[in-house]
A and B are shown apart, each in its own frame.
Chain A
Amino acid sequence: MSRLKITMLLIIAVYSPVFSQAVDGLYFVFSRNNNTYNWESRYNRRLESRRFSALIGLDGYSILIKKPGKRWQENLTAGFEGRYRLLENLHISPSLSHSRAALQDRIIYSSDFKIAVPYSGLGFIRAEPFIGNLWRKSVEPSGDKINRGPSFGLQTDLRRISVKGYPLRVSTSYSSFALDKIPFSQFRAAIGTEKVWENGDTLQWNFENSESVKKYYSGSRLDENLVRQVKVERGANWLSRTTAGRLFVIRAAAGAGRSNYYYDNASSHPLLSESDNFSESYNYAVQIDKDWQKKVFVSAAYRWRSDKQDFLGNLLDLWSELGEVLIKAGAFIASKDSVGFDCLFGVTSFYGLHGPTINERDQRTMIMNLRYKRIFNRQFWGEMRTGYSLFHQLYINSISSANNNRNETYLLGSRFGWTILQPVRLIQDFEIQANYISYDYDRLTINTRNRIFRRASWNTGIEVRCSSSLTIRPGYLYRYEDYGKLFWVENNWQQATGWDRRYHRIEAKMEYSPAAWLKIEPQYIWESKNDYNYVFAPADSGPGGIIRQTAGRDLKQTTALAVTWRIDAEQNLTASYNRRVWTAPGRSRDIGDFLNVAVRYIF
């Protein structure tokens, strides 16, 4: 079945004269692994003539999961949207879509039909009324359900209006869908402006309001009942960029928004998700940028944000406030040397909305990075970087404050690039990092939650360009990791390693293009991972000691082949196959394979 389907779609994609006349482009992907099959196809066709334009779209997506128990899911959608010019300012625009969503024996069919009449002959006003019909049918083991009804609406926009040189955008829309079982309606209004000056200065603001009402059957419990939901959303945004002479560039942004949900529920025990609630948010940010002769750059920013969520009486209702500073700096010290620095620090506080709660907390963040780069000559360059990050979580209430902890990471890394010969380039990375998690109130020496995790990696990548059609990329990666408890002894941290891990990866990839339209990419990866545990071994005499034991030994070998047939810049056919053999002591040999076929064809 699957082979037949692939063959048919490929024939349609590449050879069918009928479809070649009917679509702009076709995209098809098939992929499979041990347990899952995916088919995805899509094509679109745009028709244009002097008075008429139309867009036709077809989408299909199928997935088959073999385990546990076969599950077949399929979504198909077909749509058409046309636009015919009746008069200079009057169009008629019919649209039609039909979809089928199936999951095993449950299927949802849906059909939408709409006719809109855009009219722009009213001076500054453009109006677009529409009427339509919606139809939904769900097929379930318990029986079929049909939900249908008419729809109508009106959208208006103000055109070409400006106030003192500021272009104004105003739009309103109302639509109603009178379905039998799930009727809904929505209203939206927006006003805003955006202006950009020649020097890049910008001013933009807008206000928006939307309201919607719908009724539906709440089906999460056995006693299904009708629920009426009213949603009201209001928001405003403001953005500016101002040049203050030759001194600074000031960027400022602010926003405010509030959304309310109201429920009218006949049930005496409504779901928590169906209780009245609201959330609101306010924020602003100010950033000042300065550069000196394009040699030194400095940027400083402050960000503030406040969020509030109220579910009307719930103890978990919170409001939060964030204050954050970001500083960035960079400099070209000399023609071959550059340095960059960035630092971010801030605090987010969470407060109980109706009084103290156990979830009140502060989250402190600090991140710093420093980079230095030097270009020694045309063949050799190097970069050093170091970083530090801190996330400190502070619960205020005694019930939760045992979880107060600091998560700190230190990083040191380097990268060097060396063009050994003209066709041979080498990139060398080295990095070490240490991550400490320490709990503020945990100074135990047994069963402590304080931990340290360390990692170092060495990564060598080589690119050998043998000819214009052949490139070989061998590489080697080594990584060491260890992990263990941290004990607080005599006012110092001491580490007790629990395990360590060594990982090697050798990789070779080739890119070969025997012709401009063909590319072949074979690849081989060899991976080895060894795990060791540190355990206590009692001795026949004496206190015993810690020994290192092999805990696991994984070997993975992956072979891959990808072939790309490039028809032209926008059209191609790609096929790839990937096979991985995974062996480990104590478990059966695991073989995984993955196949992917993708076609992109523009007619």
Chain B
Amino acid sequence: MKKIFVFLFLIVLAIGGCFKNPVATRTGQPPAGIVGTWETPASPEAVIRNLLFSYNEMFIQNFQSCLGENFYFSSPEDSIRAEAQGSGYLYYDWNKSVEISTAQNIFSTFNVPGRKLDLIMSESFDNPDSLGDTLAVVYREYILRSIVIDSLGADTTTMTGLATFRLSQAMLSFWTIDSWKDIPAQPGGLSWGQFKAMYRR
């Protein structure tokens, strides 16, 4: 009986054509566009600079290279408020793939004429970075402005807060971000985490 199941399984796969050549790749077109600002992430600060540039340049490839495989994002204050409003699920299970698809949404939304994102990050005076040998915690105070310009004028939304990045250096690779926690500058104020949640899919 069990062998019949195995043969049925293999026959279904063969008929379905579910096979991909594990060595063949496609040939890409020669480059015609610009490239983003990128520094090899040999230090935690370099990763954060890459994150900053990739956000301002809206380069998703560089952005995703900053994140570790076990990445997660949390925005505790925003998620408590969202929970009370019934949309707490927007903050659930925020892993690397969620972060990338959310950033893709933001970039595709703002990478058009009339829309602009402006991100500034600075070291936190109250929270000095803790840089270890293979682990690091980096604090950055941020100001994120989303600007929408239409015939009526420019509509600017400003988000401020403190982003806490935990980074690690794996054996065979450079520094990457393992976790990102966002806290608004004022309780209940507009934050980066809240902005990202609006674009989560």
Q: Which residues on A are within 8 Å of B, measured CB to CB? A: 35, 67-68, 71, 73, 101, 103-106, 108, 136, 138, 140-141, 145, 164, 181-182, 197, 201, 203, 214-221, 224, 238, 240, 242, 250, 252, 254, 271-273, 275, 277, 282, 284, 286, 302, 304, 306, 309, 311, 314-316, 321-325, 345-347, 349, 359, 362, 364, 387, 389, 392-404, 409, 411, 433, 435, 437, 441, 449, 451, 453, 481, 483, 503, 505, 527, 590, 592
Contact = CB atoms under 8 A, between A and B. Distances in A.
A437 B40 contact: yes
| 5 A-B pairs closest in CB distance | A216-B86, A323-B20, A402-B31, A398-B32, A219-B85
Nearest to A217: B85
Contacts of A321: 20
A273 B197 contact: yes
Interface in B40-84: 40, 42, 59-62, 76-77, 80-84
- Most B-side CB within 10 Å, residue of A219, A315, A392: A219
A271 B172 contact: no
Contacts of B128: 590
Contacts of B188: 106, 140-141
A527 B133 CA distance: 10
Contact of B33 (A35, A314, A400): A400
Contacts of B15: none
B23 A347 contact: yes
B28 A304 contact: no
A433 B87 CA distance: 47
A216 B127 contact: no
A218 B200 CA distance: 14
B22 interface: yes
Given A315-B108, A451-B40, A203 B2 contact: yes
Given A182-B86, A219-B82, A311-B201, 5 more contacts: A106-B81, A108-B84, A254-B13, A272-B105, A402-B34
A101 B2 contact: no
A439 B150 CA distance: 39
A216 B84 CA distance: 10
Contacts of B1: 164
A240 to B, nearest CB: 6
A181 B86 contact: yes
Contacts of A217: 85-87
A181 B20 CA distance: 49
Nearest to A387: B172
Contacts, number: 202
A309 B105 CA distance: 13
A215 B31 CA distance: 47
A138 B199 contact: no
B67 to A, nearest CB: 15
Given A242-B3, A271-B198, A216 B33 contact: no
B15 to A, nearest CB: 13
B18 A304 contact: yes
Contact of B199 (A104, A272, A395, A505): A272
Contact of B76 (A103, A252, A345, A483): A103
15 contacts: A68-B141, A68-B162, A105-B187, A164-B1, A203-B2, A216-B87, A220-B82, A242-B2, A271-B199, A304-B19, A322-B20, A347-B23, A396-B26, A398-B31, A399-B32
B117 interface: no
A306 B198 CA distance: 28
B172 to A, nearest CB: 5
B30 A347 contact: no
Contacts of B25: 347, 349, 362, 364, 392, 394
Contact of B194 (A101, A220, A311): A220
A401 B87 CA distance: 38
A389 B172 contact: yes
Nearest to A140: B84
B200 A273 contact: yes
Contacts of B21: 323, 347
A1 to B, nearest CB: 21
Most buried by B among A140, A272, A304, A481: A272
Nearest to A302: B22
B80 A220 contact: no
Contact of B109 (A67, A197, A272, A400): A272
Given A453-B174, A527-B133, A242 B18 contact: no
A220 B29 contact: no
A273 B22 contact: no
B90 interface: yes
A505 B13 CA distance: 55
Contact of A394 (B28, B62, B126, B162): B28
Given A141-B188, A219-B85, A394 B127 contact: no
B110 to A, nearest CB: 12
A395 to B, nearest CB: 6
Interface string B9-21: 1100100001111
A553 B30 CA distance: 44
